[in-house]
Amino acid sequence: MEIQSIKNRFGIIGNAPALNYALQVATQVTNTDLTVLINGESGVGKEVFSQIIHSLSPRKHNPFIAVNCGAIPEGTIDSELFGHEKGSFTGAADSRKGYFETVNGGTIFLDEIGELPLGTQARLLRVLETGEFIRVGSSKVQKTDVRVIAATNKDLLQLVQMGKFREDLYYRLSTVPIRVPSLHDRPEDIHILFRKFASDFADKYKAAPVQLDEEAKQLLINYPWPGNVRELKNIAEQISVLSHDKLITAKDLNKFLQPYSNNRMPILASANGNSHEFANEREILYKLFFDMKKDVTELKRMFLDVLQNPEMANHSQSFMNDLQELKSSESLQPKMTQQALQSSQPVLMNNDIHDHVEVEESLNIVDKERELIIKALKKHKSKRKDAALDLGISERTLYRKLKEYDIED
């Protein structure tokens, strides 16, 4: 089937080379039962690719179901996917079939596959390798014939390295990888998509379609679109409904776009987040400690340069002024960097760096997590709820970490 006819059938707009290549790969695997892993940022339309693969496959007349793995609580996801027997857990009043049983002969789309708990990953691996599964609370092995299409907006290899995702499952899922390009990687398609959305909303709301002047078009193309096609569609609808003028200028358009920075920093998870807040904090801590280590290494290098070069030593006052600027800089982390700066002054005064050996602070992430948890518990007098709130994690996550690190509160 030609790429253009697929675009027309499934409402896909754009002609970016990366998009066309992704569609080409999708069509090539439709007549097989190969497992497919669709990668792409949130909002790029990964589910549409799963529908294309199923609709053009020999399974097209059999069931298709899309499951958001991140939206199902960890305690019930095994039951949802594989079913359970009556009385197997509290609330299991009756036996229930899981998705792998009800979709037998069809296709199951597992979105946000990176959110699966490790135990569920092991069950899924067995299904992929042998076609067998066991209901929760049962010992009877059952067979199923289901094609699995998975999708993620995360780097699964990074999750593998962090111990959050099984390496064998990753390679089993990624038999055929498909990369759906982000909207900022398709600049030639952005204005075309906007015009299509604006036309659709004009028909919906019985109004003339909005148009962009040249400056507004350029602003639209240069915007990074963190929410991808979904965000662009929302912006088009807002403009169609709220704009009095149908010719939109850059100033008008800017009112609807979210402020952004080229240096987007990670944000700590809220206290009311789900069970993945600590994983987000772990990534932030990795970056924090790495930056601190670079700062200290740079300071050491500067000290050695001064000591090894007599001419530079004559300018020690200028060097100390530079150190003071570094000390007050927001780019350096306060605690560790100031310790390094304080230790720098006697080194210069004595002109003997060998008499002042620094012992680097441990940058082990597990040690840092444990230290933060202990500090929070002491600060809040062992009140777990308050400590969890201060750490930016859920109370359940804190309880799990207390057991993991054998911390007595």
Question: What tens digit of pLDDT does each residue of 373-386 get?
Answer: 888 888 888 888 88
Please give the pLDDT value at position 40.
95
- Highest-confidence segment of 1-5, 88-92, 143-147, 327-331: 143-147
- Most confident of the ranges 121-125, 240-244, 333-337: 121-125
259 confidence band (pLDDT: 50, 70, 90) = confident
Pairing mode of beta strands 107-111, 64-68:
parallel
For residue 306, what pLDDT is reported? 59
Give dist(CA 276, CA 268) in Å, integer. Answer: 11
3-state secondary structure string across 216-255: HHHHHHHCCCCCHHHHHHHHHHHHHHHCCCCEECHHHHHC
CA distance 93 to 379: 44
What's the mean pLDDT in 106-125?
Answer: 96
**CB neighbour class for 1 (10 Å; exposed up to 12, middle 13-18, buried from 19):** exposed
Parallel, antiparallel, or unpaired for β 176-179 and 147-152?
unpaired
pLDDT class of 391 with cuts at 50, 70, 90: confident
Kindly report which listed range (11-20, 65-74, 213-222, 278-287) carries the lowest average pLDDT score: 278-287
Asked which of 29-38, 145-154, 293-302 is least confident by mean pLDDT, the reply is 293-302
pLDDT at 369 over 60: yes
Answer yes or no: CATH 1.10.8.60 is held by domain 183-254. yes
CA–CA dist 173, 295 (Å, integer): 40
**By the 8 A CB rule, do 116 and 164 touch?**
no
CATH number, domain 3-179: 3.40.50.300
- The residue that leads in pLDDT, 101 or 283, is 101
Q: For position 341, what pLDDT does the model report?
A: 42
Has this prediction a pTM greater than 0.85? no
Q: What's the whole-number mean pLDDT along residues 137-150?
A: 95
> 145-149, 183-187, 211-215, 344-348: lowest mean pLDDT where?
344-348
Q: What is the pLDDT of residue 384?
A: 83
Place of tokens 């601190």: 292
Q: Tell me, what's the pLDDT at 150?
A: 97
Under 8 Å between Cβ of 189 and 13 = yes
Q: Considering only 80-89, 166-175, 329-338, which range has the smallest mean pLDDT?
A: 329-338
Longest dimension (CA), the chain: 84
Average pLDDT over residues 101-123: 96
Using a pLDDT cut of 90, give the percent of the chain over it. Answer: 57
Pairing mode, strands 36-39 and 147-152: parallel
Looking at per-residue pLDDT, the higher value among 342 and 113 belongs to: 113
- 36-52 pLDDT tens trace: 999 999 999 999 999 99
265-284 pLDDT per residue, tens:
444 434 444 444 444 555 55
Residue 139 pLDDT exceeds 60? yes
Among residues 50, 18, 4, the alpha carbon closest in space to that of 183 is found at 18
Alpha-carbon torsion (226, 227, 233, 235), positive or negative: negative
Name the average pLDDT for the chain: 81
Place 325 in a pLDDT band, splitting at 50, 70 and 90.
low
Residue tagged 């605690």 (tokens): 335
Residue 72 has pLDDT above 70, yes or no: yes
Provide the phi-psi class of 265: left if phi over 0, else alpha when psi is between -120 and 50, else beta: beta
CATH class of 365-404: mainly alpha
Which residues touch 161 (CB under 8 Å, ≥6 apart)?
none
Q: DSSP characters for 97-140? A: --HHHHTTTSEEEEETGGGS-HHHHHHHHHHHHHSEEE-BT---
- The residues, ordered by sequence, that sit 6+ positions from 205 with a Cβ below 8 Å of its Cβ are 240, 241
Q: What pLDDT sits at residue 263? A: 44
Q: What angle do CA 157, 163, 165 make, to 5 degrees?
A: 55
Check residue 340 and give its pLDDT: 42
Q: Quick one: pLDDT at residue 176?
A: 95
Instruction: Answer yes or no: are the C-beta atoms of 151 and 69 closer than 8 Å.
Output: no
Residues 6+ apart with CB under 8 A from 283: 266
Contact 84, 124 (CB under 8 A): no
Region 1-25 average pLDDT: 92
Most confident of 75-79, 126-130, 274-278, 387-391: 126-130
* Helix (H) or strand (E) segment spanning residue 39: strand 36-39
pLDDT at 292 over 60: yes
